Amino acid sequence: MKEYVMGNGAIALGARQAGVSVVCGYPGTPSSEIIETIAKYPHEGMHLEWSVNEKAALEVAAATSYAGARAMVTMKQVGLNVASDPLMSLAYVGVEGGFVVVSADDPGPISSQTEQDTRRFAEFARIPVFDPATPQEAYEMIQDAFAYSEKYKTPVIFRPTTRVCHGYASISAPDTFAPVRGKGFEKDAGRFVIFPRLSYKNHGLIEERNVKIGEEFSSYRFNTAEGGPAKKAVLASGVSYMYAKEALLDHSGVKLIRIATAYPLPESFLLRELAGVEEVMCLEELSPYLEEQLLKLAGKHHLSLKVWGKLTGHVPAMGENSTEIVQKILASYLGWDSQAQENAKIPPLPARPPVLCAGCPHRASFYAVKKAMAGKKTYYCGDIGCYTLGNAMPLDMVDTCLCMGAGVTMAQGFSHIDSEGKAFAFIGDSTFFASGITGVVNAVFNEADLTICVLDNSTTAMTGHQPHPGTGRNMMGHQTQKVSIEKVLEGIGIQKIITTDPLDLAASMDAVRECADLPGVKAIIFKSPCIAIEKSKKKCHITDDCINCKLCIKETGCPALTIAEGKVTIDASLCTGCGLCSQVCPKAAIGGESHE
């Protein structure tokens, strides 16, 4: 079959082609569509799961690999931080069936907390990493990743970046596939039980092995050099290689070296290609990884080489590269005429920060807490998900956001240094299952004083509506027993738990006041489905009683409320009839729920 697919789809089809039989992961932009693509295509004989978090995903998959199955784990780069505990140890133990960790990096960052570089993680864990530049390459390279993993019995990292994950290209993939499930687990405590002695022994073996892999990578087909011989070279990796290729289309006299396996470094390949080269410009995103490797290599082999890049200020330290950025860098490096295009001065543009959708129940939840706690000293600890957007004006309801699950534990922290202020943690349902529960246990155990607001919209909305333990459906398409957030909280021993409909403002404010006034750990479950899942037919409308005070807009910031020709209007194409504005209106001039 020939398919026009997203890079993530190409990774999925490549993994299927490589015989993957177990795929686990946790959603995170830009990696989420890998598992979704496998689920969309035939996948008999495979086990697919959205795990509760990346650590769980990696451990589940590791066991299946011990038994000989080919397994893949998918996540975004910050997910690898969560999975790093099992990964670091697994690197010492090794694997049996091919085991690939896909960790998608996000230069920019476009949808992430950090600009971390997974290639560093690979070096840190002493395991190989593959770095595709295009969706087509990703399709082929993921298959190589499985082969290398199985050959050297080591976990392998596959590191695409956003532009590879979310780029589209046409892929030819066979319709047939054969999941490799292995011959079963053979007990061998000397191999699979990690002890200091084992780690010591394997550490030595890993270092020896990595030299061999670096040697093998020196003839790997995606480590390439073109346009030589020349005194000046460009060293590029990932999508920056494509930017360089496009920028160099009409130029010659420069050598373009591309490294697809950043670790272990293909030293002999580089030494061979750098013969006669006097200067190298390093084009890469995130960290100056190759640049540093090249400096090491030059030191080790006494190469007389000028190395330019991020460390010398020639390449931006942060953000994404682009053809224009690369063009500009190469123009000054290679002495081209740079023709900057002058555009007429454009009028000031409206800013469009992302906001909660019109009718989003999170808006109502935040608003209820805000109104109930008006005038009081508060700490609003946010978390990762759509509801991080509760920080936007006019809600302004997120004081902190650090990482998955940190809202609960940070609210606890504030409660220990300030007994006057009221600490609140806002956490979504998926994040609650991912890493919120341990924080709740910690808060109860250590006598915190806080109110946990679970914003339960029955989905993982931000990353594209993946199921989670509370939704009653899993990635195998099976109906499952719903894990009840309320019962989990009860089981932990929380005495006061109120479940409320956030769209009922008065009842929700009462719940907030009641909990805030009680000592200890309390919880409110704001339960209302994501508007993108349960499509509403309801619309609100403005009546003649409107005095145009604009309070509805100023208080809620709902994008369906706008001003047209000086008057407040409701954009019917956006309104879901949630009715929050009608509960805010001082003149009862917003009629709700008139069905279309």
Q: Which residues in this chain contact another protein in the complex, by CB under 8 A?
A: 4, 29-30, 110-111, 134, 163-164, 166-170, 239, 242-243, 245-246, 249, 322-324, 327, 341, 343-344, 346-347, 349-357, 386, 389, 392-394, 462, 553-554, 557-559, 561-563, 573
Q: Of the two residues 193 and 351, which places its CB atom closer to another protein in the complex?
A: 351
Which three-class secondary structure string do you get for 173-185? CCCCCCCCCCCCC
Q: Of the two residues 18 and 315, which places its CB atom closer to another protein in the complex?
A: 315
Q: Of the two residues 293 and 466, which places its CB atom closer to another protein in the complex?
A: 466
Q: How far is CA 211 from CA 147, 265, 275, 409, in A?
A: 18, 9, 21, 43
Shortest distance in whole angstroms from residue 403 CB to another protein? 16
554: left (phi over 0), alpha (psi -120 to 50) or beta: alpha
Determine contact, residues 119/262, Cβ cutoff 8 Å: yes
Shortest distance in whole angstroms from residue 353 CB to another protein? 7
Shortest distance in whole angstroms from residue 47 CB to another protein? 27
Shortest distance in whole angstroms from residue 212 CB to another protein? 33
Cα separation, 289 vs 282, in Å, equals 9
Q: Name the residue among 407, 485, 405 with its Cα closest to residue 54.
A: 405
Which DSSP string do the residues of 120-159 spell out, in sequence order?
Answer: HHHHHHT--EE--SSHHHHHHHHHHHHHHHHHHTS-EEE-
Shortest distance in whole angstroms from residue 499 CB to another protein? 26
Determine contact, residues 268/285, Cβ cutoff 8 Å: no
Determine contact, residues 41/16, Cβ cutoff 8 Å: yes
Shortest distance in whole angstroms from residue 553 CB to another protein? 5
Q: Of the two residues 353 and 477, which places its CB atom closer to another protein in the complex?
A: 353
Cα separation, 289 vs 200, in Å, equals 27
Shortest distance in whole angstroms from residue 323 CB to another protein? 4
Chain center to CA of 564: 38
Determine contact, residues 559/355, Cβ cutoff 8 Å: yes
Q: Of the two residues 28 and 405, which places its CB atom closer to another protein in the complex?
A: 28
Shortest distance in whole angstroms from residue 293 CB to another protein? 24
For 401, which DSSP code?
-
Residues sharing a CB contact under 8 Å with residue 91, sequence separation 6 or more, in sequence order: 125, 126, 127, 154, 155, 206
